[in-house]
Structure 1
């Protein structure tokens, strides 16, 4: 297709309109976003609700496509409406212009993460309706806020309310990621997210004295142990090329604070680590190991879990899960390559899985640079349109399970 053809394509126009709404952290105003989604629901003749699980600043928009057997457990098509901050000076295009270049690359924050998926759901339903298809199962399209901040003002609270419980959800689809080759990734699980702050107390005094039991010595010990464990995970990936990032535990030092003056040994230093723990790790034993390291360092260390998610069982990707069978058969019928993996990051799927609801993370963006949260985030127009065809096939299949 030419640039003019891409620009005049109805689905591309809808996608670009969505991208131009700056639902960007911090302090997001979702007013225009909600209005846009209501217009899309009206164009598809779908009833729409807006609920506020936490406060008026964080709306959840829900569209409903009623199935012929609405008593069956429903299917959620989830996407988040918020996007991460931008550094405009690092972009070659305005991050909320949705500019399209001669190669068909659509530049905008959210083009990959994940406004593309939200409007691809809508486009797939439009295509299915045009064919006269109606699913057995009811579909709910949920557009949620705050995912990029952890989902604590969005999906986490939404699933606790009576509205969500009334949906009788049997399956959820949500975001995945782009791939660099000609295959698709399907995520069936997520690692467990922990963010740990170590508040390290020690002997304070003059910087000219070799004082015992200082916070700096303890900090050095803790950092050494944590980074040593990190190195073991890097080595694990090197030793087994079949492993994916989601198969190991990531450990990253993200914050170091403390000290008041160059010649004063401080009484307190703090360090924060972000961990994404592999699904085969014993969390109780791992927490004990961290506590043991603190004692070995000399004690006087307070551990604060700023995030401590619980283990959530993965979704089954075998014949015991009829939704997976339908999903997989769709990909096979399209003759596309795919791999099932543990998602390296955290998405709203973890909240659904915690309720025992099967959830797949999937974004049909193959042969595409991974630009989630990066400068110059873009998605190819042809890739976007191809993704609509993929979703059309998948929705038709899972809707009739």
Structure 2
């Protein structure tokens, strides 16, 4: 694939070494404050210090550690760029895995295994490897870069990006844009002629998070008696309505750009109501064309012959940019007068320009190392640490590049069993990220 990188040889060894080392730190985030990123944060701080940077470790609570370091660029008039990755990972049940999920094992096929191989210790390793290579080669990026290695992304970010943005905004004062996870990886689709086509989605938007708690009240009583005021029945009916609701199409500028570019690549006219012409690439946009609300938890009762007074449910809602009013009005209607709902956790949607110089630099970096690849914009169905930084005036993009083979299943392996990344794909990602950061 493509051109020669300006990185030194050691960088390509270090990016593998650092990914393995970071995976071996068990930074599992179980939510509710149960996590420990301290050892991984200290590791990142040491590697940054060895490259001549002056990292600081910031904590809201013991062992919920964040690392921030700044590298001055060559253009003092250019705004700074925030480059961030989270240190925590979702849980992994070792019994379900083919290898120890915290082993960092490399197999005979050149696959590096472990929780965080994709999401997102590989990106953290690329950040460290790039800045250390720059120090050895005595090169600096055009823009000043603030590197942040962050806790608690896999929960509600209270110990990570929310804490940093609220309590330590001074570290990000002159940052106008940020890049982080979930973009720049290879997605394979079939062209109109039947050939394999390498697509690189770059995230320029995120649906908003709208986690909901539903509650119903009724009259408690003996379950053998007639009771039309049954809290469980009321809640079940509302949950069923929410689960069956078909949300209307709401096409945002980022998703419109994505569909139009993907349609052109597949040789079809863009059709926002029928994505079948996009082949496998329909997966990149199908969840972001509308709001959504998926029931996930129901709780009620304590004995089979007792009708409880209360019943509750939880719903994972996601909201497209501009869709907030519709979302709330629809929930009022679907819940009806007998069920109350409230936000248990909420993040605003994010949408960034796809015609900016920064987005163009990401496209160009991919094309430099894969001239036959096709970078396209897309909107993430979920969310990242980019959202808490938005109130600071930081426009967020998802760009943690990886070169992946056909059939790899990026979306399936992130948070999934047997998470892994190709060593050569990791090195490809380092080349792309380095080129982008030096020129952005």
After TM superposition, the score normalised by the length of structure 1 is 0.88
- 8 Å contact 2:83–2:145 — kept in the other structure? yes
Separation (CA, whole Å) in 2 of partners of 1:357 and 1:48: 21
Cα distance change of structure 1 residues 294 and 38 upon mapping to structure 2, 3 Å threshold: closer
Q: 1:338 aligns with which of 367, 375, 389?
A: 375
Separation (CA, whole Å) in 2 of partners of 1:209 and 1:258: 18
- 8 Å contact 1:315–1:353 — kept in the other structure? no
Cα distance change of structure 1 residues 51 and 121 upon mapping to structure 2, 3 Å threshold: same
Q: 1:216 aligns with which of 232, 235, 238?
A: 232
How far off its partner does 1:126 sit?
3.5
Q: Are 1:303 and 2:341 an aligned pair?
A: yes
Separation (CA, whole Å) in 2 of partners of 1:377 and 1:166: 32
Specify the alignment match of 1:369 in structure 2.
Answer: 409
Q: Are 1:22 and 2:31 an aligned pair?
A: no
Specify the alignment match of 2:384 in structure 1.
Answer: 347
Separation (CA, whole Å) in 2 of partners of 1:256 and 1:59: 34
Q: Are 1:207 and 2:223 an aligned pair?
A: yes
- 8 Å contact 1:128–1:392 — kept in the other structure? no
Separation (CA, whole Å) in 2 of partners of 1:165 and 1:29: 23
Q: Are 1:244 and 2:290 an aligned pair?
A: no
Q: Are 1:329 and 2:364 an aligned pair?
A: yes
How far off its partner does 1:84 sit?
1.0
Specify the alignment match of 1:274 in structure 2.
Answer: 316
Separation (CA, whole Å) in 2 of partners of 1:383 and 1:333: 15
Specify the alignment match of 1:186 in structure 2.
Answer: 202
How far off its partner does 1:49 sit?
1.5
Separation (CA, whole Å) in 1 of partners of 2:204 and 2:419: 25
How far off its partner does 1:285 sit?
3.3
Cα distance change of structure 1 residues 57 and 230 upon mapping to structure 2, 3 Å threshold: farther
The number of residue pairs the alignment matches comes to 383
How far off its partner does 1:37 sit?
1.1
Q: 2:325 aligns with which of 284, 295, 315?
A: 284
Specify the alignment match of 2:396 in structure 1.
Answer: 359
Separation (CA, whole Å) in 1 of partners of 2:168 and 2:229: 53
Cα distance change of structure 1 residues 248 and 294 upon mapping to structure 2, 3 Å threshold: closer
- 8 Å contact 2:29–2:36 — kept in the other structure? no
Separation (CA, whole Å) in 2 of partners of 1:383 and 1:166: 31
Per-residue CA shift, 1:142-193, capped at 9, x if unaligned?
A: 0010000121211012112345355410211100155541322211111011
Per-residue CA shift, 1:306-336, capped at 9, x if unaligned?
A: 0122344x11111xx2222322233333323
Q: Stretches of 4+ moved more than 6 A in 1?
A: none
- 8 Å contact 1:196–1:306 — kept in the other structure? yes
Separation (CA, whole Å) in 2 of partners of 1:344 and 1:374: 17
Separation (CA, whole Å) in 2 of partners of 1:83 and 1:169: 26
How far off its partner does 1:71 sit?
4.7
Q: How does 1:1-400 map to 2 (within 5 A)?
A: 9-26=13-30, 27-52=34-59, 54-164=60-170, 167-176=173-182, 178-181=185-188, 182-229=198-245, 239-241=274-276, 243-281=285-323, 283-295=324-336, 299-312=337-350, 314-318=351-355, 321-334=356-369, 335=371, 336-365=373-402, 366-367=404-405, 368-370=408-410, 371-398=413-440
Separation (CA, whole Å) in 1 of partners of 2:140 and 2:334: 58
> 263-272 or 378-387: which moved more?
263-272
After TM superposition, the score normalised by the length of structure 2 is 0.80
Specify the alignment match of 1:3 in structure 2.
Answer: none
- 8 Å contact 1:176–1:363 — kept in the other structure? yes
The gaps in structure 2 that reach 5 residues or longer are: 1-9, 189-197, 250-270, 277-281
The Cα RMSD (Å) is 2.5
Cα distance change of structure 1 residues 260 and 166 upon mapping to structure 2, 3 Å threshold: closer
